[in-house]
Each structure stands twice: as C-alpha cells, then as structure tokens.
Homo-oligomer: A and B are copies of this chain.
Amino acid sequence: MDRRSFLSSAAIGATASAIAAPAIAQEKPQITWRLASAFPNSLPALYGNSQELGKRVAEATDGAFQIQSFSAGEIVGGLQSADAAAAGTVEVAHFPTYYNWGKDPVWAIPTALPFGLSARGMNAWMRMGGGNDMFNEFLSDKGLIGFPGGNTGAQMGGWFRKEINTVDDLKGLKFRVGGFAGKVLERLGVVPQQLSGGDIYAALEKGTIDATEFVGPYDDQKLGFVKVAPYYYYPGWWEGGAMVHFLFNKPAYDALPEQYKSLLQTVCQSVNANMLETYDYENSKALRTLLAEGAQLRPFSQEILQACFETSKAVYAEISETNPTFKKMYDSMVAFEKEYYLWTQVAEYNYDTFMMVQQRQGAL
C-alpha cells in the first residue's frame, strides 16, 4: 500500500479517537523498511542483532511493520550505512557511530572513547544521563535519529606476534587498529594499519603487520589469529563497552504513527540488551576454546595503559578547545564516569573480585 496514505489516515485516527476510520480498519498498515548493517553476516552477534530487531518488530505488529536487514556490502559498504540511512537509500542503519569519527569526533562518543564508560555505564549515561539526547541533537541536522542497539562489553586488546611490555615496544609497531585508538597510539609511535577483516590473517602470517585488534573471544576465535599471533592482550582500553546504534532516517521515523515510534524504542532497548547477553555468554565459552588452542593471555602493562590514558586525555583536551559539541558531550560523560566508577568499585567490584578469586581457586 501507499505508505503516505496510511500515515495520514493514522494521524487522523489518532486525533479523532471516537470517529471510525474505515481506511485504517480495512487496510493493513504495511510498512517495509530496509536496514543496512555495518557488519558482515559472518559476525552473528553483531549482524544478527539487526535481524532480531526486524523479527521483534514484525512479530509485535503481526507482520505489518517489516524491517529487512542487509549485511555490509549488500546495499552499501559497512562504513557507508549511516550515510545511506541519512540519504534515505535505506530507512535504518545498524552502525557503530565511531566509524564516522573522522568527519567529526563527536561521532566517536556514542560508541566508545578510549577510557570511556563500560557497557553498564554507557547504558546508564546514554539513557538516564542524557547522553543519547545530546547525540540526537547533534544528529538533528543530519537527517538521522538514533537509539542504542547493542554493546559488545569490554573488548580485548588484540593479537600480537611478539610480547610488548613497555611504551618503547610500541614504537614502529604495525598494528591494525582503527579510529580514535589509532590516533592515540600514533602519538606513542605505533603505525596504525587499515585492513579489512578478510585480509588480516594473511598480513599477520606474513608479518606485514605485527598485531591486530578485533572484538573479543567469540568473534576473534572464528578468524584463527591464535595460530599466527598468539599473544592475546587485554583490556581493549579503546572499547571498554562499545555500543552500536540503530540510526533511522529522520523523515521516515517522524512519519511513523506514535505506536510504532514507541515500539521501535522498546525493541531497540531490548536488542541492545540482547547483544550484550549474547557476548557475555558466547565470549565465556569461546575464551576456553582459545586457551585450548594456545592463546597466551597478556595484560597490557601499567606503563602502557598509563601512557595511553594520558595521551587520550591530551587528545580530548585539544578537541574540546575547538569543538563545543564534543566538549559538552565529553564533559557530561566524564562527570558521570566519576560518579559511576566510585559507586561500582564498592559493591559490584568487591563482589566480582571475591567470585573471581573463588573461580581461580576452583571453589565455585
């Protein structure tokens, strides 16, 4: 059916609740949207979350509202999916907004900044602390509106061919790492490399690159890096709780009846939780597999973490001098970070610590 005629009828029905609206009653409000995912379908926890969005929306509307997912490259390349939603080529993108950080560093904040919030902290700040509202202000002249749609939890720091212990060991390191983390690491001598997922293994094997970061055990295990770069570093301090957004074409979203807008927000929040549950479950299984395959777990040294932290802070201060939107969002996030990491170090951290000690002792 013609979407416009449905929407105008719905608007009439909504404002005149006592008046019969036979046009709606007799015609099924069929909406069919397309979603461009930033992820390939070989990464089911990431790509599958957009399919889950479509499934839940369709079920809750008895099939009336369909959102069909396309994986990276099917309609547009993964990096272009937000642009495609803004242009109306598709109505939705499933997109880690930091892919756009080069356009404006504000885009990095809703996914993850180095030394930003953990997954729970991000959820709390984005939804309760006004973070997502600020992001939508930023998006308002870009033809988009977004809601959190997934989180990986804290990621790993990646796979290294050799051990690295000091800041000196970073100098000249050819590290496949993107975005903001690359900008920070560059100042410490790293040579960031850009490689698509399918090319990493061969480059690592040949030694064209020295290291690569990816996501965490569940995704990393599929790519077999353990065989050519067995030192598996943690934590991925640039992605302490990486969030993915559903970005909607704003005119299309604004034209929806109110009930569908509300439903979309509810479904987004449900699948936002779903991705973290999936990662928490699957990473727990996959880590054991990786250890059996020979992964050598290594923590980044305090020296390296401290240098990266201070460099990140310097970068934020520089950007804040010239970018008021970045400064506003960043300052809001840091204000909450200070409160959140005070609270969470009390009950949550001490509970976890005790349980981890029991786990190590085999007492669970």
Contact = CB atoms under 8 A, between A and B. Distances in A.
A28 B14 contact: yes
A191 interface: no
B354 A235 contact: yes
A12 to B, nearest CB: 9
Contact of A129 (B123, B236, B281): B281
A280 B123 contact: yes
A216 interface: yes
A155 interface: yes
A59 B262 contact: yes
Copies in the complex: 2
A344 B352 contact: yes
A interface, how many residues as a size bin? 35 or more
Given A123-B280, A262-B59, A280-B123, A1 B28 contact: no
Given A59-B262, A240-B351, A356-B344, A28 B2 contact: no
A31 interface: no
A305 interface: yes
Contact of A10 (B5, B29, B350): B29
B14 A64 contact: yes
Contacts of A101: none
Contacts of A359: 337-338, 341-342, 345
Given A9-B27, A156-B347, A345-B360, 5 more contacts: A9-B25, A14-B62, A263-B263, A269-B273, A270-B270
Interface of A: 1-2, 5-6, 9-11, 13-21, 24-29, 56, 59-64, 115, 118-121, 123-125, 127-129, 153-157, 216-217, 234-237, 240, 257-259, 262-263, 266-267, 269-270, 272-274, 276-278, 280-285, 287-288, 297, 299, 305, 309, 313, 334, 336-356, 358-360, 363-364
